[in-house]
Amino acid sequence: MTSPTPIGWAISRQPVAYNTAVQLMENRAAAIAAGDARELIWLLEHPPLYTAGTSAREADLIDAARFPVHKTGRGGQFTYHGPGQRVVYTMLDLRRHRRDVRAFVESLEAWVINTLARFSVRGEIRCGRVGVWVPGLGVDGKGEEKIAAIGIRVRRWVAFHGLSLNVDPDLTHFAGIVPCGIADHGVTSLAALGRNATMEEVDAALRATFTELFADTILEPEPAPDDAVQVMT
């Protein structure tokens, strides 16, 4: 019985420019598909910005002048990235796991839900709405708000882009868009729910729950992709 091939686990300590991150991610995904690099989970933060997925509607960009807007090849609509939000780019070869894109998205949702449970937060999914929601936040206890967004792209069976989890971002920054095209519900964060978790604590929870969900994997620390860029410049 052969041992599983380790997956890289990298964390950027400084905010990474969006275009830089996308280029590094594209390069790594191509190398994974060619068999020249191992899979990678990359955790980072971005400066404040909006991204427009392949299904984004112009009407959902409420304030185009507020932050830079980046068109991106991931699925989904408009979303916000910024400090206090943990972005997780998952460069995983579905040929090694399961060649089922919908099942992969569901595994990312389950990963977030299991991570939230570590902080005593109940995350749920909704039919027809990709992402993770926290229920019971309206005055009548029947509302819900989104705490994590998910958007991926798959090329040559390698999935990339990934998810974003609101730890303690400035939630007013979401006001420049209709997040994920859903106007009837708001957004929340661990901090807004009274969970004052540090980014390091969230990262530790993400790592622990990933290995629980993908029991046949081994995570090995490696330098963040942007570290190599900084060394080269």
Could you say which DSSP state residue 7 is in? Answer: E
- Residue 18 in 3-state DSSP? helix
N residues, the chain:
233
Displacement of CA 199 from its chain's centroid (Å):
14
What CA–CA distances, in Å, run from 217 to 46, 85, 211? 27, 26, 6
| Beta strand pairing call for 144-155 and 129-135 | antiparallel
Distance between first and last Cα of the chain:
43
Whole-number Å distance between alpha carbons of 144 and 10: 32
What CA–CA distances, in Å, run from 164 to 38, 96, 147, 218? 22, 24, 8, 22
Q: Which of 10, 105, 180, 205 is catalytic?
A: 180
**Residue type, position 171, single letter:** L
Q: Is 180 a catalytic residue?
A: yes
Catalytic residues: 180
